[in-house]
Amino acid sequence: MSDHGILAVVSGFSGAGKGTLMRELLSRYGNYSLSISATTRQPREGEVHGREYFFVTEEEFLGMINENKLIEHTRYVNHYYGTPSEYVFRQMEAGRDVILEIEIQGALNIREKFPDALLLFVAPPSIEELRRRLTGRGTEGPEVIEARLKRAVEEAGGMEQYDYLLINDDLDRCVEEMHQLIQAQHRRVSNNRAFIRRIQDELNRI
Amino acid sequence: MSDHGILAVVSGFSGAGKGTLMRELLSRYGNYSLSISATTRQPREGEVHGREYFFVTEEEFLGMINENKLIEHTRYVNHYYGTPSEYVFRQMEAGRDVILEIEIQGALNIREKFPDALLLFVAPPSIEELRRRLTGRGTEGPEVIEARLKRAVEEAGGMEQYDYLLINDDLDRCVEEMHQLIQAQHRRVSNNRAFIRRIQDELNRI
């Protein structure tokens, strides 16, 4: 059908429920590959190298930049974050849809390099709800929650740069909407150049 | 949810099955309004004024142009075709999704005036299949069929200008895909400016 897999970027405020959404999407549908970022920050409790992130040293990370092994990278709060390109390209060529869960600066870098990438922003139904969810986790103190809300202020400034907005007020519906938005991308004219060429050739032979 | 109804343009080769698709889409889902074009051509047998077209004189048509009552208009084989704006705008403001089934030149005119309009192109799975469908109608002679195929050659040159390509090899699936593509448009950031402003305001008050 379409020429190759889709590159979809998912961003959103911390607490908007991206993690749960991604897990649910991947468990329901078989065609998605989640890209794993490389980072120089320390693993948090429970995080596994090669699952949440590839945890690398700053030297290793700078090496990846120099060898052009990252699609995009950004520096955020003294740490580097980046998307290793090999995995992403291999999956897309195999026809699989690849999801990058990254911050806004990374998303905009992707957009610049890959104009066909699909940029999705996941938002809570309201900021009050966002605060409730952040508080409800119970794992973080009030200063961390305030820091996350402050960060959300910055990120909100970039919402207009995305293609689609998903409001995560109902997990089940939000997963289906995300799936449909990514699948719709296979129907984009820019992803069907081979078919279009074939049709044009057939018509020219009439 | 989104700020207003969607403006969707559907084009495609004669014989690609647009008419059946539209009828089926409108019978399955209640949120669509099909725009009716005005034309100066004569009604064919079975066509009803106000259903297939508004049949008007050339003088009336030129009056509509002068009074700015058409969103777009084109001239094709000695006849004018145009989209009356009042109906379209009224439906969209009421939150209804409006579909214009028009030719490529009209579609490109719409795109220029309304960058947020969704442009869908319906294609048959192959040109052989297109020829079979045109022949199978049994209502037209071989010269008419050849004329339609020649016309398809022209139209194929514009396929790349559309947003999405729908391959009509299975009516049921094609209707669902069209529905999902139009509904996805409600999630576009450009259709959710009110929500985004509210979220940004709430965050700025923190």
Residues of A within 8 A of B162 (CB-CB) are: 189
Average pLDDT rounded to a whole number, residues A160-172:
95
Q: How many CB atoms lie within 10 A of CB A197?
A: 13
Indicate if the pLDDT at residue B1 is higher than 60. no
Q: Residues A21-36: pLDDT tens digits? A: 999 999 999 999 999 9
Mean pLDDT over residues B32-59, rounded?
A: 94
Question: Is B164–A188 a contact, with Cβ atoms under 8 angstroms apart?
Answer: yes
Q: Which are the contacts of A61, defined by CB distance < 8 A and separation ≥ 6? A: A38, A39, A40, A73, A80, A82
The two structure tokens encoding residue A198:
């074939």
B5-20, pLDDT tens digit by residue? 999 999 998 888 898 9
How confident is the model over A103-119, as pLDDT tens digits? 888 999 999 999 999 99
Helix (H) or strand (E) holding B84: strand B79-84
Q: Nearest residue of B to residue A126 by CA position?
A: B199
Lowest mean pLDDT segment, chosen from A7-21, A186-200, B10-24, B137-151: B137-151
Copy the structure tokens of residue B123. Answer: 């294609």
What is the structure's pLDDT at A179?
Answer: 96
Q: Note the pTM of the prediction, 2 decimals.
A: 0.89
- What span, in angstroms and rounded, lies between the C-alpha atoms of B64 and B66? 5
Residue B124 dihedral angles phi and psi, to the nearest 5°: -75, 165
ipTM of the complex: 0.86
Q: Choose, out of B150, B202, B204, B205, the residue to mutate when testing the contact with A (most A CBs < 10 Å).
A: B202
Q: B85, exposed or middle or buried, with CB in 10 Å at 0-12, 13-18, 19+?
A: middle
Instruction: Name chain B contacts of A195, Cβ cutoff 8 Å.
Output: 123, 165, 167
CB contact under 8 A, B177 and A187: yes
The pLDDT value recorded for residue A1 is 54
Kindly identify which residue of chain A lies nearest to residue B146, measuring between CA atoms: A206
Please tell me the distance from the alpha carbon of residue A83 to that of residue A96, in angstroms, as a whole number. Answer: 17
Of B160, B181, B206, the CB nearest to A184: B181
**Do A189 and B149 make contact, defined as CB atoms within 8 angstroms?**
no
First to last CA, chain B: 24
Interface of B with A (CB under 8 A): 121, 123, 126-128, 149-150, 152-153, 156-157, 159-167, 177, 180-181, 183-184, 187-189, 192-193, 195-196, 198-200, 202-204, 206
For residue A111, what are its two tokens? 């957009």
From the list B73, B47, B51, B48, the residue with the least C-alpha distance to B60 is B73
Is residue A122 within 8 Å of A168, Cβ to Cβ? yes
Q: A125 to chain B: which residues are within 8 Å by CB?
A: none
Q: Is B96 helix (H, G, I), strand (E, B) or coil?
A: coil
Q: pLDDT-based confidence at B3, cuts 50/70/90? A: confident
Report residue B44 as tokens.
């064919």
- Structure confidence at residue A134 (pLDDT): 84
Return the minimum-mean-pLDDT range out of A142-156, B54-68, B93-107.
Answer: A142-156
* pLDDT at residue number B195: 94
- Tell me the CATH number for domain B7-35+97-204: 3.40.50.300
Where along chain A do its domains lie? Answer: 7-200
Q: For B184, which of A184, A189, A200 is closest by C-beta distance? A: A184
| Residues of chain B contacting residue A187, judged by C-beta atoms under 8 Å apart | 164-166, 177, 181
Fold adopted by A7-200 = Rossmann fold (3.40.50)
Beta strands in A32-151 (DSSP E): 32-34, 37-39, 53-55, 70-76, 79-84, 97-101, 118-123
Please indicate whether, in this complex, the C-beta atoms of B203 and A153 are within 8 angstroms of each other. yes
| Contact status, residue A187 vs residue B166, Cβ threshold 8 Å | yes
Interface contacts (A, B; CB < 8 Å): 106
Comparison of pLDDT for B76 and A57, the residue scoring more: A57
In the predicted model, is pLDDT for residue B192 greater than 70? yes
In DSSP terms, B139 is beta-bridged to none
Per-residue pLDDT tens digits for B57-82: 999 999 999 999 999 999 887 899 99
* CA A182 to chain CA mean position, Å: 11
- Determine the pLDDT at residue A143: 85
Distance CA B62, CA B75 (A): 12
pLDDT, mean over chain A: 92
Contacts of residue A123 in chain B, CB cutoff 8 Å? 195, 199
Q: Is B49 helix (H, G, I), strand (E, B) or coil?
A: strand
As a whole number, mean pLDDT of residues A126-140 equals: 83
Instruction: Count the neighbouring beta carbons within 10 Å of the beta carbon of residue A65.
Output: 12
Asked whether B143 and B193 are in contact (CB, 8 A), the reply is no
